[in-house]
Every structure is written in C-alpha cells, then in structure tokens.
Structure 1
Amino acid sequence: MVNHSVYTLLIVESPVLASAIREVAPQSIYPIATGGYCWFPAYNATKNNLTPKANPDKIEVRRELKEQAQWANNIIIATDSDPSGDFIAWSVAKFLKIPVIRRAQLQNLSKAGIIQMLEEARETDLTYLESTLKNLFLIQSNWQKEKSLPDIDLSGLAVLFGTSGYFTHFLDENNTLFSSSAPVYCETDEWIPIRPSLEQQYKIVEPLSTFNLIEQTVSHSITKGYNDAQVLLQRLFQTVLPGTKQSLISYPRSSANAFYGQTWVNFRTQFLQASLDGELKPNFLQETAPLEEPHESIYPFDLTLKPEDAAGELISSLGDLYTLIYSHTVNAITIPDSAEKTFENDLKPEVYFYPVTKGYKNTGEHTLRPCYTVADMGKNLYELGVCRPSGFGEKLDSWIVKKWVSIEGTIVNPLQPVKTLGNRAAGLKQKLIDLKSLENRISLLPETVHAVITS
C-alpha cells in the first residue's frame, strides 16, 4: 500500500499527461514526463546485447529524473505496456539504478484513478523486462536479415487475407455488410449459404477497443486519417475540464472488448444517476475483462457527464469523439435492440447473421463471404504480434499509402502486394505464431529464432 503523504516520483511518457496529473493528483505526487525516449535502444544483433544510448535532446529530463529520485520515497513508472513503453521503463530504471521496477497502468485522469494506479503498482523484474525486450529486437533483426521474407507488416496482412480464420463480418452478393452473433471459422474465399430465421435475435454491441474507435472515428467523419483519429483519441484522454477538473475517458490504448467487474458496478450507479433510457445488461450478458488484463475497453469516465454538458468546454472534434464514445458505451452496457432481420446457416445453427444497417430488403436465401473491417484487422494483427493498439493508426495510414490495402467504408480490401503473397500465407502464418510464442522466453537463443525464421 502506498502512503499518499510521502513523496512519490511518478514517471510518465507524455508532458501533457504529466501536466494533467499535476492538476488532479495529491501534492505528494510529482509527475515527470520523459517526452519519449531519454535513451535510444542500441541493439547489437551479433552479441544479442541491448544498451540504452543517451538522447542528446533529453539532458535536462535526465538531470531532473536523477535529482528528484534522490528525494523520492517511492518511484513508480507508468509508461505504456508496449515495447516502447517497456524500453522507456527499463532505460529509466537502469539510469536510476533501480533493481526492481514498480510499474502501474493509468486507467483514467482523476484523483481517485491516480490513487488507484499507485495502489495497484506492481514490481517488475528488471532482468525479465530486459530479456523480453532483447527477444523482440532479436526477432525483428533476424526477420529483417532474412532476404527471402517480405516486410513483417506485409506478411501479417498476407496471413489475414490468405488463410482461414475466425470472422464476425460478412458481405452478401451486393456487398451489404453483415455481422454474426459469434465468430465463424471459414476460408477467406468461402461462400456461406444463409436463409431467413424465424427467431427474434439481438444485435451484438461490444465495448470499444482502440481498433474499434479508430475505425469509427474515421467512418463518422470526425477525422479523415486513421493516425489523426489516434492522435485525437489521445488528446481526449489528456483533456481535463477546466471548471471541474474532471477527466473524460478511460485509457485510450487497449485491445480489450470488455470492462472490469468494478467498472460494471460503477456503471450501474452512474446509469441510475444519469436517468438514462434502457435497461442495463444482466450479469450473464456482461463482457467482463480479467483483472490481469493491463487495460479494459475505452469508456466515458462518468456517465453523468453527458455529451451536451461537456460540449461547451471542448472543441468540436473532441466533443464529437466524446459523443461517439458515450453513445456507443451506453448501447454496449444496455440490453441491445432486436435485429430487424436475422438469418441462419444449417451447418452453424448456434450462430445467426444480421445486416448491420436498417432497411435490408432481401428476405430470401442467399450467400455471404467473410470480410475484415478495420477493427477486425487490427485485432487479428495484434494477436499475430504484428501491431499494437498504440501505433495502429499510423501503420494503417502507411499501408494505404503503400497500396497494400484499400478501405471502403469500414471494409479492408487487400491490394496486389498482399495478394501476391497468397501462396506463402500459410507458411508466414506459422512463422509469426511460432515467433510470438518465443517473445517471453527467458534466455532466448539467436539460433532458435533463426531456425524458426528459416524453416
């Protein structure tokens, strides 16, 4: 348990985030932002050795870190739980000569959220963290050196569009988008016959991951680009209303489509206080994230702060994004609307299919083929170890510029560089799966990685 009356040095990445924390945190907490890398990763592939190389632009930050660390009773590092955040945490700990890192994950920008973060700070072994970082650099280095292999991002896209998998979205003969009530395993070019269902079924509304929000921010024309959507989402997270010092949303970089159990409890209280329409989902319908997950889905921190009440204190794009998150979250936590039309497949009787938009007129038998939405693609590439929530928007924009994919609405289409790798997709998939299984291995040998990559 952290004593809130003693001096705690809290190290974060973003200067804006540090400033926002300073506004709401107890006075005993002193946040310092690294502003990115204070040291750059220097990896020697021959010796499998990772060292931090001082960033000449961060001399003052390093000086302040060292000075404040001398006075601090507690030192907690709250960087992202992705490779860049892990490296920042490791390099800071090496510099300050901390044998064991205490790390925490910030869930929201409120006094209670910051205190909760400090209470939940856990020790992370520095040797283990260094080992996992070296593994990632070792895998990337070996992949890049193997000239017969395509770019790892391109390989991931080839795997998605060239191998069978689990799909939750489909297109009919007229390219109308359908959702399924559960993932369906099928080939990418498989056509699934469906016929009208006589049973009344409900739409599936999952809580928002970063992948979902980046997709929806662009599809709702709040931003034009996907990286712009990610930047705007981060800005909204770092925004604290000037009058009430109230934060708006939970942590914005998450792969989860579920909430922690305590968040569902808070929703129930706030839902009643806000006098919202509808009925909250019963326990058996609630998507609940395990506590070991670093982050839950993205949601408005306080449901009693309705979009119209916050609008006057936000620029229009931030207000639009808050409205999107608020409306979607309310839909995700209440009993869903019934689907206008539903369809079924004889070979998959436990699954039903329904058109995403209203007004669908085809009531007869027809066929569906699987497809990936932007959010589907992000989630699947994350599971392959190819991308993470923190850099997804930037990667997606670059893939469009390179003409690897095109996007129509929310549907992702592979272009020629991806299609060309179709006959290699199965082999690339196995390599990526095998390499991901090695990421957390202690004392991973270069020979092991080389064997997987060249197999």
Structure 2
Amino acid sequence: MKNLVIVESPSKSKTIEKYLGPDFEVVSSKGHIRDLATRGKDGLGVDFDNDFEATYKISKDKKDVVKELKAKAKKADAVYLATDPDREGEAISWHLANELGVDIDQENRVVFNEITKDAVLKAFENPRKIDMDLVKSQETRRILDRIIGFKLSKLLQSKIKSKSAGRVQSVALKLIVDREKEIDAFIPEEYWTVLAFFENDGNLIETSAERYKGKKLKMTNAEEAQTVVDAVQGDFVISKLEKKNRKKDSKLPFITSTLQQEASTRLGFPAKKTMRVAQKLYEGIEMGGDAEGLITYMRTDSTRLSQTFVDDAKALILESYGKEYVGKYRQGKKTENTQDAHEAIRPTNVNRTPDSVKSYLTNDEYKLYRFIYYRSLASLMAPAVFDAVSVEFTQNDYDFNGSGSTLKFDGYLKVYDYEKSTDKLLGELDESKAYKSQKIDPEQHFTQPPSRFTEARLIKELEELGIGRPSTYSMILETIVYRAYATFGAVSETSKTKVFKPTEQGVLTNDKLQDHFESIINVHYTANMEEELDLIAEGKKNNVEALQRFVDKFYPLLEEADEKMEKIEAEKVGEECPECGGELVYRFGRFGKFVACSNFPECRYNRALDGTKKEAPEPTGEECPECGKPLVKRKSRYGTWFVGCSGFPKCRYIQPNEKKKKEETENEETAS
C-alpha cells in the first residue's frame, strides 16, 4: 500500500507527488473540511460550561471529500499531513487527523516553506507531531470570531439593519469612519511660501524662505509674504554650502503586508488579487512538463532569509554585477507580533530569473514574480550613493534653502527599477560670489485634511497597530465594502487612486458599536487580543482563561446594548411594492442606497434610486462544481456578464471562461 499525503490545494498535489515518487499518493482536502457547529448555547458550537469545548461539523461541500479521504487513509501504510505552514494549516491538519483517525501523537505532520523538490524531500525526512499550541491559538481565534460575529451581528441586524460585525472588521471600519470625521471637522488654515530662483551653470536652483534672523519663518497671509519679497530684492550671498555622500539602503524583502501595500502602489493590484497570484506562484507553475513553486510561502511577517538563499544571491550579484554591488544581509527588527516560523517572501531559486520563466507565466504572474524577485535580490545589494548638496542663500537676514543631488553609484537601483532616481543639478557654486535671483514668487497654500485610506494605506495602518493578521486583510476590506459599510472608488473622475469612504450605514454601525462596545471594539483591545493569541501559540498563555476573560467582559456589554440600543426602522419610500403590495423602504447595498420591499426575503423586489429595476440573475440550468447550487448569469459592477454560483458569497465560484474576461476588466480598472 502507498503512503498517503494530504495537502490543502489540488493544484500542488501532482507536483509534490512527482517529487515523492511511486510510494506516495498525494491528495487534497481542498482547504478546511469542517467548522464550528451551530448548536449548543446560542448556536455557537461552543460549550461555555466545559472549558469552551468546541463541537465541529463537516462542511456540506466537503462531505464527499472527507468520505474519499477516509477510504484512502484506511488503506494507506502511513498518513502524512502536509497542509500550509501556518496556524490555519496546523488547525486543518488537526481537523483531518480527528476525522480520519490519524494518531496526533505520531510524527506525521510535514511542513515546507517552498514547493521545490529539495525542500519537500527534506521536510519528509523530518516530520513532527501536530503543534497543539498552534491549534489552540487558531481555535481560540475562531471561537472569538464566532462569538462576536454571531452575537454582535444578530444585535445589529435587529436594531439598525446592519448585516454583520467582526472582531477585526469593526475596528477597520472604525479607522475609516474616524478618518472621515477628521476630514469633516477639518478647518483649512492659510499659509504662504516665498520661492527664490537662481541660475547657475545653466541650472535653475529653486530655494524657499525658511528663516529670518535665525528663527523659523511663518507667513499666514499675503501681506506677510509680500514683506519678505520686498525685503530681498538685492544680491544674495551663500551663507552655507554642504557637500556630502548620502547613502540610500534597499528595502527589506517582502512580507505579506508589504507585498500587498507595494503591489497596490507599484502594480495597481488589489490586495485580494495580489494574494491570489502569489498563491499560484507558491503552489507551482508548469514549466516544460515539470511544475515547481517559484516563491516561498506568501503568508509571513518575517523578513528573515535562509543562509542558502543569501549565499546564492550574493554569488549571482558578484558574477552579474561585480564585487562593489554585493551588500550586507540586513534583517528587520522583530515586532511583538512577528512570527518567525518561516522566511520572507522570496524566489525559491535565485537563478530562475523573471525573463527565464516569462513564457510560462500570465502577465499578472510575471509582474508579481518579477517584483518579488528583484525586491529580494536588491535587499542583498549595496546601497545607492548620491552626491548631495545643500545650499543656503541669504539676503537681508532672510535665509533661503535649496538642495540637489546626483547619483554617484546606483547600487541596488541597478536591478530595482521600481524606485526612480532623478538628478537635481545645482552646478558648481562659489561661496565668494554674489547671486541675483531670477525671480521671487510668493505662493498661497492651505493646509489639507488627512487623506482617506487607500487599500495600501489602510493595510499599513492595520499592520502598524497590530490588528489582525496580514493574510486576512484583503478579505476584511472586501467584507466592509460588500456589507455596504464603505465604498471603494476613485478620488475623482480624473484620478485612478481608489479610497475607502464610509456610507451612512457604515457610520451608523460604527457609532452604535462605539456607544455600547467601545471597550472591546477599539485598536488597543484588538491589538492586545492578537498578542494574547500569539502567546497561546507559543504555549505561554492558557486559551481557556483567555476566552473566559473575553466572555466575562463581552456578555454584560451585550445584554446592556440589547436593552438600551434604540431600534431604527427602515426609512419608508411612501410607495407600495408593485409585486406584493408591501411597503417600499430604502436599503443600503454594496453599491449604495436603493429601494426594496419591506417584506424581504419573501418578496425580493428592488430597484435603483433612479427607478431602474435591478437585473435579476438568470439561471443557466447548470450546477456549481464546487458546492452543487445552481449557476446563474449575473451582471458585474463593470457592466459585463459572468456566470457564477447562486450561493455567493459563501461560494465564490466563477465559471473559468467568463472569469478570464472579468479579470481583464478588473485589470483595466486597477492598472496604475
């Protein structure tokens, strides 16, 4: 009989099976196989009186998968659990072991950070036991999310018709709403600058008035600015001239959050798309009949690189660019929430250049692989060096400052063309010479309110505050928009930059949560909860005690909110439903306000505010291959048609040929 290996994704099972040879059969669990049941106290699937013991049930769409896995496990000589190398993957292995009767005290857990032959074979030489501390941490997270999600969502639905709340989701919404309130409360202040321009060796030098008699200059109106202009009409002298080399270090290799942020800014990829493409690069790409993973595991918050990769990369840099381009290996500082279980996101083989694999990749895969490859390589290269010049021109006790720089040595910029360097020339300056300004311009300005969050900025904010895990950010932000708590769209008709703006329902939801749950729906409490989950994963804290502390704090707040939160009825339109005669009311959806029947879900009549009827999905007569529900033809937000599962959002299947068209449309919308 063969050894059975279970992985999460079907796409990597064939690759791994090739590496292991004929004595192994590699099959997929297709992700999670079970979740908390919906029975017990409040339908939470958790026994509060028995140390929060969880009851699980096999997911409907995984019953056949589990049945097949059980049959194979019974026949196998040994069963190995090779799910993803993170807490979620550890929990999936534990669920599989429980359902398949695999002994968790045996060394049958296999972990690899990259899908390459060497890495996989080495991992199978060193199997370990399932790490129950990691499992407890993940289970605690799931129970917390179930309690908050079920109880808060039910409360909000009954009181203010909001659709959901979440431990991290609601804090992310708070950040969006708080930023909008800052913008609304912002009062612009007028200020002025005075610029003086000098010509030298054919270069135009721009300077700005900074000080008067050594004190910082502040101009709040046109009269003050004009006073400066009138006072500096004579020749200027150079009062200070400094020349020095300025070094610019490369950035560290990508972790999950920085990859999402930078791919959004540099490539125009939404976070969800970045993770989807990275998953494909990790799981393996077919190249000339063989498949191999091109990058290491893309869910990580460690900037560490293996010594093998560092050595190979430095050898390549030395051979391709020269000794002067080889830099030092720098590892970023670990934060309290950093999990150092595996490496930064890097190519699995530094000799596999982007151009050498380009023909095997889609355009998006190539863009992201190239981005990851050169970021990793650049992190081990020497700094760029600039000749930097700063100059101070003085006239009548007013100091005007300017600066320039030229690239002296390109260093890591040799390969990392995502950062541009433009020379700003000043020419040779003579401190003994008098300089006359070409022109002096006073300019009016107004202070600006803080900017709304782009996806990249919001992800950065969540990471810096220690809220949630980077691997969940894309889903959290998608949920906020899907629940109609915020819109995500262009800043203006002429801009492609997309930002989050809270809807009326989003503001209402946040305000009610802050009125009644401020002590737990806040940045500090949520970040502390993440730290506690990390300590549980390290075996340093008791998961039962952590859950009990939360329940003791949460349930009194819930009971008080249920009693005191005002119930808000939906605003009536003043018309009858043309289909059932019920009252028409205003509702909020992911694309804004619309009109719907108050008898929903019995009556599903709805229309846009302009009176047009929303086009209903058309049944295709086919079944979803993932969950068995009917497939329907829908119109997307971009006006294109696609075929998807009627069970959305629980099932997100989209028919492949239509999905490609949809992705092309999304690429056009998000291209930078």
**Structure-2 change in CA distance of 1:218 and 1:376 (3 Å):** closer
1:80 to 81, 84, 89: 84
1:263 to 309, 323, 344: 309
1:235 to 261, 280, 289: 280
Matched, 1:155 2:171: yes
2:255 to 209, 230, 238: 209
1:331 aligns with 378
Q: Measure how far apart 1:249 and its partner are.
A: 1.6
| Structure-1 separation of matches of 2:85 and 2:3 | 21
CA deviation vs aligned residue, 1:69-120 (integer Å, no higher than 9, x gap): 3454543322235564344222111112223364333222211010122234
Q: Which amino acid letter does the alignment assign opposite residue 59 of structure 2? A: N
8 Å CA contact retained: 2:255, 2:302: yes
1:95 aligns with 99
Q: Which amino acid letter does the alignment assign opposite residue 468 of structure 2? A: C
Percent of paired sites with the same residue:
18
| Structure-1 separation of matches of 2:339 and 2:479 | 32
| Structure-2 separation of matches of 1:245 and 1:22 | 11
1:442 aligns with 543
8 Å CA contact retained: 2:271, 2:455: no
1:65 aligns with 69
| Structure-1 separation of matches of 2:380 and 2:310 | 8
- What are the residue-to-residue correspondences of 1:317-356 with 2, within 5 Å? 317-338=364-385
Taking only aligned residues, the RMSD between alpha carbons, in angstroms, comes to 4.5
Q: Measure how far apart 1:376 and its partner are.
A: 6.3
- What are the residue-to-residue correspondences of 1:233-312 with 2, within 5 Å? 233-237=278-282, 238-243=284-289, 245-272=291-318, 279-283=325-329, 285-287=330-332, 293-312=340-359
Q: Measure how far apart 1:21 and its partner are.
A: 1.6
2:524 to 392, 413, 430: 430
Larger Rg: 2
1:183 aligns with none
| Structure-1 separation of matches of 2:295 and 2:473 | 19
For normalisation by structure 2, the TM-score amounts to 0.50
| Structure-1 separation of matches of 2:252 and 2:499 | 23
Moved more, 141-150 or 319-328: 141-150
Q: Which amino acid letter does the alignment assign opposite residue 303 of structure 1? A: V
8 Å CA contact retained: 2:36, 2:57: yes
| Structure-2 separation of matches of 1:273 and 1:240 | 28
| Structure-2 separation of matches of 1:294 and 1:29 | 27
**Structure-2 change in CA distance of 1:70 and 1:385 (3 Å):** farther
Q: Which amino acid letter does the alignment assign opposite residue 328 of structure 1? A: R
8 Å CA contact retained: 1:100, 1:123: yes
Q: Measure how far apart 1:258 and its partner are.
A: 2.9
8 Å CA contact retained: 2:286, 2:360: no
CA deviation vs aligned residue, 1:19-38 (integer Å, no higher than 9, x gap): 22223333333321101232
**Structure-2 change in CA distance of 1:452 and 1:265 (3 Å):** farther
1:187 aligns with none
1:178 aligns with none
**Structure-2 change in CA distance of 1:27 and 1:100 (3 Å):** same
Matched, 1:200 2:246: yes
SS across alignment from 1:80: coil
| Structure-2 separation of matches of 1:143 and 1:16 | 34
Q: Which amino acid letter does the alignment assign opposite residue 34 of structure 2? A: W
**Structure-2 change in CA distance of 1:278 and 1:329 (3 Å):** farther
Moved more, 128-137 or 143-152: 143-152
Q: Which amino acid letter does the alignment assign opposite residue 121 of structure 2? A: I
Matched, 1:392 2:500: no
Q: Measure how far apart 1:413 and its partner are.
A: 5.9
Which has the bigger relative contact order, CA under 8 A and spacing at least 6? 1
SS across alignment from 2:129: strand
**Structure-2 change in CA distance of 1:119 and 1:41 (3 Å):** farther
Moved more, 246-255 or 420-429: 420-429
SS across alignment from 1:299: coil
Q: Measure how far apart 1:41 and its partner are.
A: 2.8
| Structure-2 separation of matches of 1:342 and 1:388 | 43
8 Å CA contact retained: 1:215, 1:410: no
Matched, 1:113 2:119: yes
8 Å CA contact retained: 2:324, 2:382: yes
| Structure-2 separation of matches of 1:205 and 1:122 | 35
2:144 to 139, 144, 147: 139
| Structure-1 separation of matches of 2:291 and 2:113 | 16
2:574 aligns with none
Q: Which amino acid letter does the alignment assign opposite residue 450 of structure 1? A: V
8 Å CA contact retained: 1:109, 1:240: no
Q: Measure how far apart 1:246 and its partner are.
A: 4.3
Q: Measure how far apart 1:309 and its partner are.
A: 1.5
2:26 aligns with 31
For normalisation by structure 1, the TM-score amounts to 0.71
SS across alignment from 1:143: helix
**Structure-2 change in CA distance of 1:71 and 1:118 (3 Å):** same
8 Å CA contact retained: 1:90, 1:129: no
1:17 aligns with 12
8 Å CA contact retained: 1:431, 1:452: no
Q: Measure how far apart 1:207 and its partner are.
A: 0.3
SS across alignment from 1:201: strand
**Structure-2 change in CA distance of 1:368 and 1:204 (3 Å):** farther
| Structure-1 separation of matches of 2:122 and 2:306 | 14
SS across alignment from 2:385: coil
SS across alignment from 2:248: coil
| Structure-2 separation of matches of 1:87 and 1:308 | 38
Matched, 1:54 2:58: yes
1:348 aligns with none
Q: Measure how far apart 1:289 and its partner are.
A: 8.5
Q: Measure how far apart 1:209 and its partner are.
A: 1.5
Gaps of 5+ in 2: 38-43, 157-163, 180-190, 192-217, 219-241, 391-418, 427-446, 537-541, 558-672
Q: Which amino acid letter does the alignment assign opposite residue 347 of structure 2? A: P
CA deviation vs aligned residue, 1:298-319 (integer Å, no higher than 9, x gap): 1122221222221122222222
| Structure-2 separation of matches of 1:207 and 1:368 | 33
Moved more, 140-149 or 9-18: 140-149
